[in-house]
Structure 1
């Protein structure tokens, strides 16, 4: 094992030197909810006393609460079937199929559904789980085609090229799948879903073009009763599949794919992440049901409105300070850098986002500064390989449990870091200038001797 150990240790050492080695977060104290600006608990349901009480009440009367006992193909799991039926009604979908995670769901779909000879076009910022699914699929690697982030024009060019080269696509004998996320987790950007769907329908009029939308970070926040961006835009009948996860805004575990009955049955037969794993526990299913109660009764909607108001407020406070900060030190991405006046009651696209990247080449320093404040604020430094080289950032995730005062303290912490950094830079510049002057005097004196 010494050779293996040496290779593994060398790889980790290389990441350590480049400041990209991943470690588990460690804390010996309970983190106050208001100090958490890094998790995906957008609606703060993970700490909601209302959801906690409802969950405990449901557990007390549920016939089963512990392990499900096996794969969905081994056990009847009536609670799972009931949840799937509820999801079909709630999301206006033909069929729903539960998975243990959004990762499993994406791997299952993209490894099983695209057939030999098909093509998959995917946004360059698509989640790693889609990449793993595509890699495990029977689609030739040359038919896995990346297009620039949110560029409908580039997608159209790729489709036009494929149609020119391939008779089977033109004739409808092969399929083209387009994989996007409704809200991208690292950038806080929204896919132009209407334009993408229209592009696919226009370019592939024989109906062999299919859009798959990952709604993981939009579930519970956007659309009627938190149904996501597909529902917000009325596209339910024009996309092949939607992925909704329960572990982010809904404070649960697991995910569901909403799709056709045929694809659901195909996944039951060919999706290895579904077939060969023990399905969600009954407690997981009960927790999800309780979260959907909050979506349906409107209480989660109140939280979502507050969350989006905080997103606007954060940017309103931060933008004026960034005008005096060097953009090479700290800036917002282009989609957030300029204020676009928006009535809070207006549902125009794009809506506010709780995911706000603070772009900086020194993300670890900024995150460490925020964590060192008298009242620590926890954020996450994100670097390559999670994001592209040169796109390092501190990813801020706002939560409905935050107050305006919490957001104000976060902005103040960011501004303090910028000012301290600039002071250090000026002091270092003055030091080197003094050194240069001393060295210059020395050279002059030598010339006179």
Structure 2
């Protein structure tokens, strides 16, 4: 029988303040544990948030922090449909090996053909997660002499893939977030430094996201493609778009912004993850036959990781089919309507609160490149984001603080996510909780200032 943790052991204050744990570590005096404990203590002293795996925050006040945008996990009839789908399948458990060995079954290959047809791609490749897809692609596909230019806010998995790449790249360089001016300047600089790209003998990879997870803003995909197509020879350009936070939310049948905006013939590779809107495990990239074959024969993560279990293959297709339903269309519309409601209600309810104490980060540019759409991701700024997190946790919200190095210094935040399962009343309650905390903080600052003035 599995042991369960008591509620007391799950409280954030349990970690690092547990005297028994401290004494035990001091008694053992192992060099590794002492070093790790010192790093954890430093994190606490810097007031950085903790993300310990055994802390569970309740979301009884409403789900405003998960990636389940359409609230699919809260639909019991989908659960039954999924169980029915599993019941008709003869294979459910492990795949018995990596895709290079015994893991490429008819189910795996069939799913990739299904996605290729649905997404209008030459080939697709299925992975156990979007993270693995990015690490695999960037760790393997760029070759010696190639260059990679990426938005500075690109996901950590892309950075990890670049670090794993063994080829002597012509360089990997970031451009300022969503800045077409900086992108153009750096494309020109790379072409000047890498003449083989200009000659069509090497490749420049340009890597962006359609919706960014930390700010909830949209990438200027049209402008990015225009610059690449104007400056980079066609045979040397390879644009990669990560659609982790747009698949399921936008486009016909929720197939993402690239397809919503008719850019699929101009974008070379699209990376999608199923762990957000689809509320399942897995990921997929759209690509061509040569890259598919190359990855199959040269990618270490592909060759040495067990293929997704059959139950996961069934689940990926099931969840993707759900996204194509009329019900999903209604849920997408609900997310958009509630996102507008949150933005207007927050703005109205906090108009008397100094923006230095509580505000929406980048509110002016959040939907700048959206073509009239809105993102359900909102970055709530606070100078003491850990205290704000704790305040919301006490009220039943599963809030998680984001501070450096996860986000830039001076842009500490909570990331609020609007879901189809939220209600306007829940949104009002959340905004009131944010407002209550900000007013209390402002009052404390005024009192401290008054006390200081009285001493003077």
TM over 0.5: yes
Q: In structure 2, which of residues 405, 408, 417 is the aligned counterpart of residue 397 of structure 1?
A: 417
1:314-339 deviations in Å (ceiling 9; x for gaps): 00101123332112111212245899
Q: In structure 2, which of residues 215, 235, 248 is the aligned counterpart of residue 207 of structure 1?
A: 235
Higher mean displacement: 137-146 or 62-71: 137-146
CA contact (8 A) 1:172 1:207 kept: yes
Match of 2:158 in 1: 130
Query: How far apart are the structure 2 equivalents of 1:360 and 1:209?
Result: 40
Match of 2:272 in 1: 244
Distance apart, 1:298 and its partner CA:
2.4
Change (3 A) 1:137 1:25: closer
Gaps of 5+ in 2: 1-28
CA contact (8 A) 2:141 2:295 kept: yes
Distance apart, 1:262 and its partner CA:
0.7
Query: How far apart are the structure 1 equivalents of 2:141 and 2:276?
Result: 26
Larger radius of gyration: 1
Q: In structure 2, which of residues 61, 64, 67 is the aligned counterpart of residue 37 of structure 1?
A: 64
Is 1:47 the counterpart of 2:69 in the alignment? no
Query: How far apart are the structure 2 equivalents of 1:332 and 1:46?
Result: 28
Partner secondary structure for residue 73 of structure 1: coil
Change (3 A) 1:409 1:124: same
CA contact (8 A) 1:380 1:396 kept: no
Change (3 A) 1:168 1:348: closer
Is 1:388 the counterpart of 2:408 in the alignment? yes
Higher mean displacement: 290-299 or 113-122: 290-299
1:220-269 deviations in Å (ceiling 9; x for gaps): 00111111111011111111110111111101101011110111111111
Change (3 A) 1:141 1:170: closer
Is 1:420 the counterpart of 2:445 in the alignment? no
Query: How far apart are the structure 2 equivalents of 1:52 and 1:179?
Result: 36
Query: How far apart are the structure 2 equivalents of 1:29 and 1:358?
Result: 19
Is 1:185 the counterpart of 2:207 in the alignment? no
Change (3 A) 1:11 1:353: same
1:274-325 deviations in Å (ceiling 9; x for gaps): 1111111111122222212212222212111101111100001011233321
1:373-425 deviations in Å (ceiling 9; x for gaps): 2xx12222100111111111011011111111111111111111111111222
Query: How far apart are the structure 2 equivalents of 1:264 and 1:141?
Result: 21
Partner secondary structure for residue 324 of structure 2: helix
Query: How far apart are the structure 2 equivalents of 1:310 and 1:434?
Result: 47
Query: How far apart are the structure 1 equivalents of 2:196 and 2:55?
Result: 56
Query: How far apart are the structure 1 equivalents of 2:79 and 2:366?
Result: 39
Change (3 A) 1:251 1:338: closer
1:160-200 deviations in Å (ceiling 9; x for gaps): 12222332111111110001111111110111111111111
1:114-173 deviations in Å (ceiling 9; x for gaps): 100010001000011100111111354761111000111111101112222332111111
Change (3 A) 1:169 1:148: same
Gaps of 5+ in 1: 341-346, 437-449
Query: How far apart are the structure 1 equivalents of 2:372 and 2:367?
Result: 12
CA contact (8 A) 2:82 2:318 kept: yes
Higher mean displacement: 392-401 or 76-85: 76-85
Distance apart, 1:29 and its partner CA:
8.4
Distance apart, 1:20 and its partner CA:
2.2
Q: In structure 2, which of residues 175, 186, 190 is the aligned counterpart of residue 162 of structure 1?
A: 190
What is the Cα-based RMSD across aligned positions, in Å? 2.0
Query: How far apart are the structure 1 equivalents of 2:268 and 2:51?
Result: 37
CA contact (8 A) 1:354 1:398 kept: yes
Change (3 A) 1:15 1:191: same
Q: In structure 1, which of residues 241, 266, 282 is the aligned counterpart of residue 310 of structure 2?
A: 282
Is 1:151 the counterpart of 2:175 in the alignment? no
Higher mean displacement: 325-334 or 387-396: 325-334
Higher mean displacement: 133-142 or 259-268: 133-142
Is 1:364 the counterpart of 2:391 in the alignment? no
Query: How far apart are the structure 1 equivalents of 2:351 and 2:57?
Result: 37
Query: How far apart are the structure 2 equivalents of 1:28 and 1:231?
Result: 37
Distance apart, 1:44 and its partner CA:
0.8
Corresponding pairs, count:
427
Partner secondary structure for residue 334 of structure 1: coil
What is the TM-score with the length of structure 2 in the denominator?
A: 0.89
Higher mean displacement: 423-432 or 90-99: 423-432
Query: How far apart are the structure 2 equivalents of 1:122 and 1:305?
Result: 31
